[in-house]
Amino acid sequence: MKESTEKAKIASGIVVSSRVRLARNCVDYPFPPRLSIDGAIKVVDSFKSAVIDSKNALVKKLSFIDFSKMPPLERASLVEKHLVSKDFALKREFTGLILSKDETISLMINEEDHLRIQSILEGLQISKCWQCCNLVDNIIEENIQYAYSDELGYLTSCPTNVGTGMRVSIMVHLPALTMLGYLQNVIDTVNKIGITVRGLYGEGSDFIGNLYQISNQVSLGQPEEEIITKMEVIAQRIIEQEELAREKLKESATQLEDRLFRSLGIFSNARILSSNECMKLLSDVRLGVELSIIKSINMEIINELIVVTQPANLQMHYKSILTPSERDIKRAELIREKLGGIKNV
């Protein structure tokens, strides 16, 4: 793919973000499910040293965080940002987190595997995420010997990750395919080629806000580059299908505008807004912005609002513990603040 096309697709907004993560384990210790406390502490220290003591320029961007000492709200906010997994946030002790300042790289130590390396970037940037992960992976491999089998590849706690240990995910916003009822068809098609479609927060989470996480299911038997290419092709196909669906919606231009502007009206005026309704309205507003129907809001604010209106991030923003009803009021308040009293037109 040419860089200009890549940029266009990043900007298109249909792919909200791309993520690549690698699962790795140290050859010297049992895998986390059977790891002793002593072993866990040593694993955290080993990876901390391997990364932080490296002289690679990338490392300057990274900091080590004693995850077990992080307050629960802050942990939850990282889950909402997709920087750590829900399971990892619930683990209380003997875990470590290495995070880049710009929050594009995160390393979970002692999650399901000894190490999970993740890179997350906005838009469709799978290759770039992979390059990032690869770079970090190489830095670590200078000091640590991974559990690796010539026959199987990287060894992991869960057999589904054995091989490349790689999972590639894109978060896509598919309002038009959803509205027109074409989405199940898309899901069925990609399922057949070993691709999973899940909600915003992984397995079991609802498809709120017309946001879908699309990721590879199997990491065995395919080289990394092949997985990357496959996911890029799938992303392109989904973008095309969503764009076609949007063209179809535009055939009833006034009805579409009516829907999107009503959502904007509620979004920017409500005084009580649940997380679910917020995501639903955000989806419409996002579509309006992407189709240049809504011109008073830019995409950065939309992307910021997707994160900051989530329960934990909202509480982090207001620096206080809030009940669900208090959150619904503060969420509406924050939206009005962020939209800065936009003009209805």
List of residues contacting a copy of itself (CB under 8 A): 254-255, 257-258, 261-262, 264-272, 329, 332, 336, 339, 341-345
Cα–Cα distance, 251 to 209 (Å, whole number): 23
Rounded least distance, CB 14 to a copy of itself, Å: 24
> Helix 224-250 to helix 253-269 angle, to the nearest 10 degrees?
110
Task: Give whole-number Cα distances, 83 to 19, 108, 167, 198, 256, in Å.
Answer: 10, 9, 14, 17, 35
CB atoms within 10 A of CB 257: 15
Cα–Cα distance, 215 to 190 (Å, whole number): 10
What Rg, from alpha-carbon coordinates, does the chain have?
Answer: 21
**Angle (CA) 94 98 99, round 5°:** 140
SS (H, E, C) 238-257: HHHHHHHHHHHHHCCHHHHH
Name the residue nearer to a copy of itself (CB basis): 139 or 281.
281
Shortest CA distance to 138 belongs to which of 252, 50, 208? 50
Rounded least distance, CB 341 to a copy of itself, Å: 5
Structure tokens at 124: 């469709």
Name the residue nearer to a copy of itself (CB basis): 37 or 345.
345
Rounded least distance, CB 298 to a copy of itself, Å: 16
Name the residue nearer to a copy of itself (CB basis): 74 or 257.
257
Rounded least distance, CB 77 to a copy of itself, Å: 25
Name the residue nearer to a copy of itself (CB basis): 129 or 332.
332
Name the residue nearer to a copy of itself (CB basis): 204 or 341.
341
Q: What is the DSSP letter of 88?
A: H
Rounded least distance, CB 314 to a copy of itself, Å: 17
Rounded least distance, CB 326 to a copy of itself, Å: 10
3-state secondary structure of 41: helix
Name the helix (H) or strand (E) containing 23.
strand 15-24
Name the residue nearer to a copy of itself (CB basis): 60 or 262.
262
Name the helix (H) or strand (E) containing 286.
helix 275-290
Rounded least distance, CB 182 to a copy of itself, Å: 24
Name the residue nearer to a copy of itself (CB basis): 109 or 270.
270
Cα–Cα distance, 211 to 185 (Å, whole number): 16
- Residue 125 CB-half CA count within 13 A: 20
Name the residue nearer to a copy of itself (CB basis): 231 or 256.
256
Rounded least distance, CB 259 to a copy of itself, Å: 8
Rounded least distance, CB 246 to a copy of itself, Å: 17
Cα–Cα distance, 189 to 197 (Å, whole number): 11
Shortest CA distance to 239 belongs to which of 95, 126, 80, 99? 126
Name the residue nearer to a copy of itself (CB basis): 186 or 270.
270
Structure tokens at 175: 């309002």
